[in-house]
Amino acid sequence: TAEQQQKEFKPTFEDYQKVYDAVAKKLEDEDEYDDGSYGPVLLRLGWHASGTYDKETGTGGSNGATMRFSPERDHGANAGLKAAQDFLEPIHQQFPWITYSDLWTLSAVCAIQEMQGPVIPWRPGRADRDVSYCTPDGRLPDASQGANHIRAIFGRMGFDDREMVALSGAHALGRTHTDRSGYDGPWTFSPTILTNDFFKLLLDEKWAWRKWDGPKQFQDVKTKSLMMLPTDMVLVQDKKFKPWVEKYAKDNELFFKDFSDAVTKLFELGVPFEVKEEDRFRFKPNTGL
Ligand code: DDH
């Protein structure tokens, strides 16, 4: 059984690289989904698995993959993430020795790297846990809120302002869906390639409230084809967030460095690793295969 394999099989770096390669290949093959890639939704799965962490109680985080179960899978913030879990199911069948918890964060790392983002150092060690470890609803950010909310949510995970802004750069990728969050549209013109465009557009475009029946969101005045969430706009409205938006808009290398550091930290929150920090794996990207 998978559980026996997870206990008995001692995978090496090469074994994990094989899982990475299988995810990368499936990303290449299944290019009909959404804007042409499952990459963004795979990243969102890894982030929502990890972003439930509470540093005070040590609960939540990527250790456990409890989003497989109700009630956590039904939390509003997780709407649509079943697509990512279903995408990964055949990979899990192919490599039953890996835990779902490790697979989800490894796949999010793969998604970032295959979408031309920075290398994200990663280490194994997460164990799957049962339904009793599901976190309560409300631990993930609410896009309709302001700066206090962002700082409360990410502060609870242990992040500072700089890290909060760097992590938000993930919204260069993917889109919002009316049948998931209720919001509509992508943030950038290249939603399957990671760049600092989220920050550039936030500063350079003129944004106005979109006139529609849906939830309050911003629209770019010029093309009316891009969107920003209220929480995205907070990053240029808040005096302490904005300087980081400006730095990342000017310097993609700095953004990649800080994004890589913050995502590595995010995916490791609350995980009792045996592998040391200095022994983290750096997976070889397959881009262009
Ligand atoms: Fe996000 N995000 N996110 N986000 N996110 C959505 C989509 C994606 C917030 C709200 C939303 C991060 C931070 C925040 C990604 C990655 C990350 C959607 C749309 C909403 C709403 C969902 C849908 O309708 O399908 C809010 C609020 C915050 C906040 O910081 C306050 C972070 C930190 C990350 C990360 O990865 C580090 C990605 C990728 C998507 C695109 C998903 C897709 O299917 O495409």
Atom of ligand 1 minimally distant from the CA of 174: 45
Query: What is the rounded distance in angstroms from the CA atom of residue 216 to the CA atom of residue 277?
Result: 42
Say if residue 102 is in the same domain as residue 81: yes
Say if residue 27 is in the same domain as residue 95: yes
Say if 284 falls within a structural domain: no
Ligand 1 centroid vs 165 CA: distance in angstroms? Answer: 13
User: Domain holding 69: CATH number?
Assistant: 1.10.520.10
Say if residue 271 is in the same domain as residue 244: no
Token duo for residue 113: 């790297």
Say if 287 falls within a structural domain: no
Closest C-alpha to 90, from 23, 32, 34: 23
Say if 170 falls within a structural domain: yes
Query: What is the rounded distance in angstroms from the CA atom of residue 226 to the CA atom of residue 222?
Result: 9
- Catalytic residue numbers, as ranges: 48, 187
Closest C-alpha to 110, from 282, 288, 256: 282
Domain count of the fold of the chain: 2
Q: Does ligand 1 come within 6 angstroms of the Cβ of 44?
A: yes
Write down the pLDDT at residue 287.
Answer: 59
Say if 122 falls within a structural domain: yes
Say if residue 101 is in the same domain as residue 18: yes
Q: Is 168 exposed, middle or buried (0-12, 13-18, 19+ CB in 10 A)?
A: buried
User: Domain holding 242: CATH number?
Assistant: 1.10.420.10
Say if residue 135 is in the same domain as residue 93: yes
Indicate which residue's Cα is closest to atom 15 of ligand 1. Answer: 44
Residues of the chain whose pLDDT is less than 70?
287-289
pLDDT in tens, 95-115: 999 999 999 999 999 999 999
Give the structural domain span for 39.
2-139+260-279
Q: Does ligand 1 come within 6 angstroms of the Cβ of 80?
A: yes
Say if residue 13 is in the same domain as residue 133: yes
Closest C-alpha to 113, from 31, 20, 186, 197: 20
Q: Does ligand 1 come within 6 angstroms of the Cβ of 195?
A: no
Indicate which residue's Cα is closest to atom 38 of ligand 1. Answer: 44
Say if residue 134 is in the same domain as residue 268: yes
Q: Does ligand 1 come within 6 angstroms of the Cβ of 183?
A: yes
Say if 229 falls within a structural domain: yes
Asked whether the beta carbons of 96 and 11 are under 8 A apart, the reply is no
ipTM of the complex, rounded to two decimals: 0.99
Q: Are strands 218-220 and 175-176 parallel, antiparallel or unpaired?
A: unpaired
Q: Give the residue, out of 109, 171, 244, with the most ligand 1 atoms within 8 A of its beta carbon, to mutate for a pocket test.
A: 171
Say if 106 falls within a structural domain: yes
pLDDT in tens, 125-180: 999 999 999 999 999 999 999 999 999 999 999 999 999 999 999 999 999 999 99
Say if residue 97 is in the same domain as residue 6: yes
Q: Give the residue, out of 27, 30, 43, 44, with the most ligand 1 atoms within 8 A of its beta carbon, to mutate for a pocket test.
A: 44
Say if residue 69 is in the same domain as residue 101: yes
Say if residue 173 is in the same domain as residue 121: no
Q: Does ligand 1 come within 6 angstroms of the Cβ of 188?
A: no
Atom of ligand 1 minimally distant from the CA of 181: 24
Half-sphere exposure of 98 (CA within 13 A, CB side): 26
Say if residue 152 is in the same domain as residue 247: yes
Closest C-alpha to 177, from 138, 215, 219: 215
Say if residue 164 is in the same domain as residue 269: no
